Amino acid sequence: MKSPNQLKSVLLRQWNNADLREARLLGGTQAWPVIVPIGRPSPRLLRENLDAVKQHIQAWRKVRLGKVKWRSVSFRATAEPVEIPVAWKLLRPSQWAEAVNDATMRDEFNKLSQLVEHSDSVFHSLFVRRRSLWSDKPIEEVLQAARLAMSLKPGYADGRPLRTLAMEGIDTKFFERHESLITTLLDARFDGEASRMGLEAFLNAFHEGNRWLLVIDLDGSLLPYEKLRVRSSELFDKPLPGAQLLIVENETCQHLLPRSPSTIAVLGTGFELAWTTATWVREKRVAYWGDLDTWGLQLLAQARSSIPELTALMMTREVYEQYPDRSVPEPIPVSDIPTHLSDSEKSLFEHLRQSTRGRLEQEFIPRPQVHAAIQTWIGKQMSR
pLDDT digits (tens, 9 = 90+) for 10-19: 999 999 999 9
Q: Are residues 152 and 282 in the same domain?
A: no
pLDDT at 107: 95
For residue 23, give Cα distances in angstroms to 15, 29, 30, 122, 184: 11, 11, 9, 15, 21
What pLDDT was estimated at residue 175? 86
Where on the phi/psi map is residue 244: left (φ > 0), alpha (ψ -120 to 50), or beta? beta
pTM: 0.62
Does the structure show a pLDDT above 60 at 86? yes
- Give the mean pLDDT of the chain: 91
Instruction: Give yes or no: residues 217 and 320 share one domain.
Output: yes
Residue 78's pLDDT is 63
Alpha carbon distance, N-terminus to C-terminus of the chain: 87
Choose between 100 and 169: higher pLDDT.
Answer: 100
CB 134 within 8 A of CB 127: yes
pLDDT band at 48 (very low <50, low <70, confident <90, very high): confident
Residue 258 has pLDDT above 90, yes or no: yes
Measured in whole angstroms, the distance separating CA 256 from the mean position of its chain's CA atoms is 26
Same domain, 77 and 110: no
Number of domains in the chain: 3
H-run or E-run covering 263: strand 263-267
Residue 48 shares a structural domain with residue 123: no
Whether 170 and 276 map to the same domain: the answer is no
pLDDT of 157 reads: 85
CATH code of the domain covering residue 240? 3.40.1360
Same domain, 145 and 230: no
Same domain? For 112 and 35 the reply is no
Residues 264 and 360 in one domain: yes
DSSP 283: G
8 Å CB contact between 264 and 281: no
| 183 contacts: CB under 8 Å, gap ≥ 6 | 194, 195, 199
Do 313 and 358 share a structural domain? Answer: yes
Report in angstroms the alpha-carbon separations of 159 from 15, 38, 53: 44, 61, 72
Q: Which of the four pLDDT bands, split at 50, 70 and 90, describes residue 158?
A: confident
Between 157 and 367, where is the model more confident? 367
Confidence of residue 301 (pLDDT cuts 50, 70, 90): very high
Examine the fold and report which residue of 101, 125, 150 is the final residue of a domain before the chain moves on. 101
Asked whether residue 85 carries a pLDDT value surpassing 60, the answer given is yes
- Domain-ending residue, one of 171, 203, 235: 203
Query: Does residue 95 have a pLDDT over 90?
Result: yes
Provide the pLDDT for residue 76. Answer: 65
Tell me, yes or no, whether 20 and 47 share the same domain: yes
Edge-first strand order for the sheet with 212-217 is 227-231, 212-217, 263-267, 244-248, 285-289, 311-312
3-class DSSP state for residue 284?
A: coil
Q: What is the mean pLDDT of residues 85-91?
A: 95
Distance of alpha carbon 340 from alpha carbon 338, whole angstroms: 7
Query: d(Cα 208, Cα 164) in Å, to the nearest integer?
Result: 12
Cβ within 8 Å of residue 302, ≥6 positions away: 271, 273, 338, 340
Mean pLDDT value of segment 205-216: 79
Mean pLDDT of 49-72: 90
pLDDT of res. 211: 79
Across 3-34, b (16+ Cβ under 10 Å) vs e yields: ebeebbeebbebbeeeebbbebbbeeeeebeb
Neighbours of 156 (CB within 10 A): 15
Identify whether residues 292 and 240 lie together within a single domain. Answer: yes
Q: What secondary structure, in 3-state letters, does 205-260 show?
A: CCCCCCCEEEEEECCCCCCCCCEEEEECCHHHHCCCCCCEEEEECCHHHHHHCCCC
Mean pLDDT confidence for 44-65: 87
What integer is the mean pLDDT of 293-313?
95
Residues 269-274: what's their mean pLDDT? 87
Q: In Å, what is the CA distance from 93 to each residue of 20, 26, 269?
A: 12, 10, 48
Q: What is the pLDDT of residues 116-134, one digit of tens each?
A: 999 999 999 999 999 999 9
DSSP letters, 57-71, are: HHHHHT--SSEEEEE
What DSSP designation does 192 have? T
Cis peptide before 33 (omega within 30 of 0): yes
Q: What percent of the chain has pLDDT over 90?
A: 72
Q: How confident is the model at residue 101 (pLDDT cuts 50, 70, 90)?
A: very high
317 and 338, same domain (yes or no): yes
Longest dimension (CA), the chain: 108
Q: What is the pLDDT of residue 77?
A: 60
CB 249 within 8 A of CB 269: yes
| pLDDT tens, position by position, 320-366 | 999 999 999 987 888 889 999 999 999 999 999 999 999 999 999 99
Domain of 134?
106-203
How does residue 207 score in pLDDT terms, banded at 50, 70 and 90?
low
Domain boundary among 64, 82, 101: 101
Q: What local confidence, expressed as pLDDT, does residue 37 receive?
A: 95
